[in-house]
Structure 1
Amino acid sequence: MTRILLVEDEENFREPLTLSLRRDGFEVVQAVDGVAAVEIFEAASAPGGCGPIDLVLLDLMLPRLSGTEVCRRIRRGSAVPIIVLSAKDSEVDKIVGLELGADDYVTKPYSYRELAARVNAVLRRSRVASLRQEEGLVLEAGRVVMDLGRHEVRVDAEVVAMPLREFELLELFLRHQDRVLTRRQIIDEVWGTDYVGDTRTLDVHVKRLRAKIEADPSRPTMLVTVRGLGYRLVPAPGT
């Protein structure tokens, strides 16, 4: 059974959402503050724990430890999908959440149908990623090597941690080297054809990716912007 960690301090959001998720067949583990969330997540994956968490639904406004810090700590050692739930609706807040490594962002108040669609989409991509790992395929471009079997990325022979969404984005570029991919193509492939969120999300993830694979992220030579169209991964930077 898919295990979801729901981190939410407001009971009027937490309990109805838990009930709906369980009705849809998910196992839900609750945390009512940031410290508890980190402790539960780490304990679940430890030997003798209840088993790893498959998805985190994370409120940003939490007591004891903020949601942004929870996200940061989880990302130190895990690529588990994270969907941020927040009453904040500004573009800046969304970008901050995504830059911390969240895979998606849903603004309160939300309909359960919308949230369930996002949850299922993220889990579906996670399962596809797991199947691709079994292929044992290695993709390379310049200083970047992606080992799908190990779900591992190395840049200049050093392992670089990547959340699922960044991993998928880089995989897409590596599979289509030297081809211009339009913004719409990228969003359809990585976020899904039913994605209706802000396209600024793509720019945030490209920025995070560049920070990890470019020698100088402020002057990208590998993952370049094609003005008015989208992006292109240059196999040999400078060409």
Structure 2
Amino acid sequence: MLSLRSSQSSIKGHANMTNVNGSPIKAATRRGLFEFGVETLEKQGWTVSRILRGGKASLRQISKGSEKRRVSIRTSQDAWIAFPRKRSGDGWVTLDDVDFVVAVSVDDKINPTLACVHMIPADDARARYERAYEARKAAGHTLPVGRGLWLSLYNEEAPDPVSYVGAGMGLAYPPIATLDLAKEGFPQDGEEVDDEVSDDGPGTSAEVPAHEIPLTIPEAKRRLAESLGVPISAIKITIEH
């Protein structure tokens, strides 16, 4: 007999991302998150401008006096962000071209209460994505070229499940600004943006085991947690025979 108990409370970092362009509401939220990121940078004293011939909608130059930096503004409606691996297999599209990642995310996929802006040094982000890539490859996941590799912002980094390797950038770099979604709306002047990754989130066909392996209890708990949108600690499995 298999018995399952799972928490029904709000969970950060739900692993099944939906299509962020799937409805007008989601598209508007995406624009609002992006604009909130831009406004936050401006309130921090940065001048934000497009990079001529940059070719990437999320890429921006920020300047403050003589200081100039490149940033990629990444939005998320499920608290995971992604960058695709380069076709050469060495390095990351966009991430290799910037000094910071500005991650603008809701704090929770199911019941978001805050929008948060995190300014993450690109060196650390690159190191995390490399760890994640190597761990998932070692675990037998297929990682198609051009598909985003997704990292959770608000789950602690852990070796198990393998999808948590590299996680936790939102914890390591606390928000530089938050927006109370119950009291304030998103900025209304946001532009349409393209985060340059497919809408496949973690746990989808972008990352599937290369071959079948015996199902272990930890793997069963991981899959159930992803399917139910709860943390692994909320899954209890009892086997009687």
Shorter-chain TM-score category?
0.3 to 0.5
Higher relative contact order (CA 8 A, sep 6+): 2
TM-score computed with the length of structure 1 as normaliser: 0.33
Q: Which one has the bigger helix percentage?
A: 1
TM-score computed with the length of structure 2 as normaliser: 0.33
